[in-house]
Structure 1
Amino acid sequence: MNPGDIIGTYVLDRRLGKGVTASTWLAHLAQDTPSAAAGNERSENGAAENQPERISATHPESPPNNAPTSPPVVLKIFDLAETSSWKPLDQFKREAEILRTLNHPRIPKYIESFDLAQGGHFEFVLVMQYIEGETIESHVSSGKKFTEAHIEQMLAELADILAYIGSLRPPIVHRDINPRNLILQPDGHVALVDFSGVQDAIRSALYPGATLVGTAGYIPVEQVSGRATHRSDLYGAAATAVFMLTGRNPAELPMRNLKIDLSGLLYLSPGLAYVLGNWLDPDQDRRFLSAAKAAAILRGEEPVPTAALASSPSNARSSENTRNIESLQSSRRALISHILSEPDTGRESVDYPAELPSDSRLEIQPLDPGLYIKLPRGKRAGSSSGFAFFPIVWLGFVFFWTTMTLRMRAPMFFPLFSIPFWIAGVAMLKSFLKPSITDTELFITPDGLLKKSSSFISNSAQQYAISDVGTAKVQRSSVQLNNRYLKELAIEAGTGTLTFGLGLSDRELYYLEKRINEELEKLKKLPRE
């Protein structure tokens, strides 16, 4: 097809895009061009025998012909010869049927659809309203920037669209919210286009995994596994806002706990931070914020929930700086990091046990002067199969992500992006299994502190002069089990910290803290030779 070709009653002006099986063209009614009459005369004289034959129309009404000039339209043309299966045709016809039922100012209006037989090819044509503007992707790629207020406005308008299609029965799932499918109009508003991947929520729930539709970086976990829901579109909307904020595909940004980490890149208003923090959650059950309420929050019509503001570190700042806070998720992480970096709370109220539990496997022997402590290999608190379950799930998800990106033929940086997660998963699994295969010994003598670890895999030792050894404290570790952080003993040694006893019970750890600190105090009072 070329500009000037006639498709049905339309003349092609220029091609807007080309997919695998369909192309999109800007067109106008053939009756609106001066050459149309001449074309009709040539047809009567037999000079236009190759004009396509219009077979059927799924819309009984034809576009108005009485106006000298009609608005331009968009023709989406599907060529059956370009596909090897019926599934793309099914998606194409589903898009036409869905657009017929939609009525929203930010969604292109359906005009008509029909079939053509042309040059031995069968083509299916969808005619819809042309929305003037450029895509968000092309706007950002050209080097232009958005203000945060404009991003809030556009995200609120997108939320209005999602609230509308989500209110239909059954709800409609777009499945491909990304910067290429959002048109920035000359007046600054946005419109959502390309409903080729659309599916109703009932179909998605009953027939999961049939077709993977979406753009890498803008689809959540449940959509990768074929179970897209209305909340999957919320994730795509938030990821698109991240692209507008950073100019980068969200998959290129750092992640923490499987969630896009914006803490080191952005300072956001409370409303935008709250919406993004909720909608970017990898667990769809935690994306509880409705599109309608998100739009109200972004427009300032509803306040940001108090819980979100309370968890923000900017709570104590002046009102002028309140808008410059990090995202809600970043604040939560900062709070957790603060807790982990502090010694165990409530230490003054700790009652140190007088002796070890009777079933403890710790071996403690006085050296006169000094102390010997041995933690034998074997099952310990927290080293059960449940403890190692998290790294196994982690590695399983990373494997799933890597294989799916390869199957989707995504750019190579997407599977390469998973390498740090592979490393982290293997490190976690190794640290979780290590207590079951390692004997750990502590020697505290006038000469210093020696920690030895031995297993059938490797042996290691760490030694510090007694003058370089500080106090021992029980602290929270970075390892979580059953929604509770495990504890370990941390001994100040040199410029760092020597840890011991991950997964021991509280009574064992506090007993060790008391004994080690008492012994260190005695050793430091001994006269030096």
Structure 2
Amino acid sequence: VLETLEELYDKRPPIYHTAISPDNILISAEAKRQGGRAIWLSGFVPDDTLRTKALAEGFLPPNSLSRPPSADVDIFSVGAVMLRMLSGRDPVEFLVQERSGLGMMSMKFRGEVVMSPTLAKVVDDMLAFNSPVFRSPQSALLPLKQVASGKKNAITASVPSVQTARRPANTKVELIRDSNSLQLFVPADGMSSSTLSTGGFTVAWNFGIGMWTVSAITGGAPLLFTAFSIPFWVVGARLARDTFKSALVGVRLNMDREGYSLREEIVGGAEYKGRSGETSDLTQVDLFVTGYINENPVRCIRMVAGAEVMTFGQNLELAEQDWIVSEIRNFLEL
């Protein structure tokens, strides 16, 4: 894709795409069958709907709608597509607010996506939309090719093993494990100081974004300018969801040698969400960074069964998370 952009930028005048996403990167099935690759880019005259969708999913930098077409925007989009390929998640999920203010955001994915430090550095630089590092596709291609030359260490990295941890003192988590079964219950956090703090921040965040959006609409701002708030609304919705789950939703995990069930229960026992499967499908259990608050990582427990990823325990203390991960991995002999 970067090589294609390089050719397009050599035209006079240069041709910029401005809305690259997985939706408009086409790979020839015939070329793949023959062991080669043929890639096309579509959507070179994106309408507002296409650009707004790409912005909402995180494939465009938040400030792109107010900027003229440029190589910076397209390089960011290619980096975002790479992040989507490596993580299986929309890039907007890695968007966090910087300390400098509401209008400044950045991508934070380290610790959440498994890749080598050298590849992470290149992706980081491609996603640096506040102060772009790569000014042309060629400048991004060179370090990517250097990473590719060391394939063994470029894409994968070993996941550190979790050592057996002791049951933390004063924990409210209930966990019973024997040779044939494991039962775990993580109660809802309730109106704890942590939940109240997060809830207050969530209200302030959404109120601020709401005021900005209303003023933009009532002031007659263009649609594309108003759409600038979409990534902030996405973050606000995630904060509201996490606050609700922290305060009112507990988790119950039952597992034996045949199968497992993971249920999220609203206080009182009503099921909020449930998943189940064969225990043999569980191939990974670890700690996972979901985001950052004041540059401090927010971790949860992640279980992977095939293509399904399940997370819980975000509001537990690190010692409790380590203990639960250790117990589950020991039971599964991972």
Question: Is residue 2:230 matched to residue 1:429?
Answer: no
Contact 1:382 1:503 in 2 (8 A): no
Contact 1:343 1:473 in 2 (8 A): no
How far did residue 481 of structure 1 move? 2.4
Using structure 1 for the length normalisation, give the TM-score.
0.35
- Distance in 1, matches of 2:214 and 2:293, equals 28
Relative to 1, partners in 2 of residues 1:285 and 1:484: Cα closer, same or farther, differing over 3 Å? closer
Relative to 1, partners in 2 of residues 1:497 and 1:418: Cα closer, same or farther, differing over 3 Å? same
How far did residue 390 of structure 1 move? 4.0
Q: What CA deviation, in whole Å up to 9, does each residue of 1:65-118 have, x standing for no partner? A: xxxxxxxxxxxxxxxxxxxxxxxxxxxxxxxxxxxxxxxxxxxxxxxxxxxxxx
Q: What is the SS of the residue equivalent to 2:314?
A: coil
Q: What CA deviation, in whole Å up to 9, does each residue of 1:105-160 have, x standing for no partner? A: xxxxxxxxxxxxxxxxxxxxxxxxxxxxxxxxxxxxxxx94699xxxxxxxxxxxx
Question: Is residue 2:323 matched to residue 1:511?
Answer: yes
Relative to 1, partners in 2 of residues 1:421 and 1:490: Cα closer, same or farther, differing over 3 Å? same
Equivalent residue number for residue 250 of structure 2: 439
Q: Larger helix proportion, structure 1 or 2?
A: 2
User: Which structure would you say has the larger RCO, counting Cα contacts within 8 Å and 6 or more residues apart?
Assistant: 2
Question: Is residue 2:139 matched to residue 1:324?
Answer: yes
- Distance in 1, matches of 2:227 and 2:137, equals 38
How far did residue 414 of structure 1 move? 4.5
Question: Is residue 2:198 matched to residue 1:387?
Answer: yes
Equivalent residue number for residue 466 of structure 1: 279
Equivalent residue number for residue 501 of structure 1: 313
Q: What is the SS of the residue equivalent to 1:399?
A: helix
How far did residue 376 of structure 1 move? 0.8
How far did residue 439 of structure 1 move? 1.9
Equivalent residue number for residue 356 of structure 1: 167
Equivalent residue number for residue 375 of structure 1: 186
Question: Is residue 2:289 matched to residue 1:481?
Answer: no
Q: What is the SS of the residue equivalent to 1:324?
A: helix
How far did residue 403 of structure 1 move? 1.4
How far did residue 285 of structure 1 move? 11
Using structure 2 for the length normalisation, give the TM-score.
0.53
Q: Which amino acid aligns with 1:486?
A: V
Q: What is the SS of the residue equivalent to 1:386?
A: helix
- Distance in 2, matches of 1:359 and 1:469, equals 29
Equivalent residue number for residue 62 of structure 2: 259
- Distance in 1, matches of 2:102 and 2:257, equals 57
Q: Which amino acid aligns with 1:508?
A: E
How far did residue 309 of structure 1 move? 9.8
Equivalent residue number for residue 108 of structure 1: none
Q: Which amino acid aligns with 1:489?
A: I
Contact 1:344 1:476 in 2 (8 A): no
- Distance in 1, matches of 2:247 and 2:177, equals 26
Q: What CA deviation, in whole Å up to 9, does each residue of 1:478-525 have, x standing for no partner? A: 3x2232111111111131211121122221111112211111239xxx
How far did residue 476 of structure 1 move? 1.5
How far did residue 429 of structure 1 move? 0.8
Q: What is the SS of the residue equivalent to 2:288?
A: strand
Q: What is the SS of the residue equivalent to 2:184?
A: strand
Q: What is the SS of the residue equivalent to 1:409?
A: coil
Q: What CA deviation, in whole Å up to 9, does each residue of 1:44-84 have, x standing for no partner? A: xxxxxxxxxxxxxxxxxxxxxxxxxxxxxxxxxxxxxxxxx
Q: Describe how 1:161-180 pairs up with structure 2 within 5 A.
A: none
Contact 1:474 1:490 in 2 (8 A): yes
How far did residue 324 of structure 1 move? 3.4
- Distance in 2, matches of 1:405 and 1:460, equals 37
- Distance in 1, matches of 2:205 and 2:103, equals 19
Q: Which stretches in structure 1 are left out of the alignment for 5+ residues? A: 1-143, 149-245, 269-280, 288-307, 327-340, 523-529
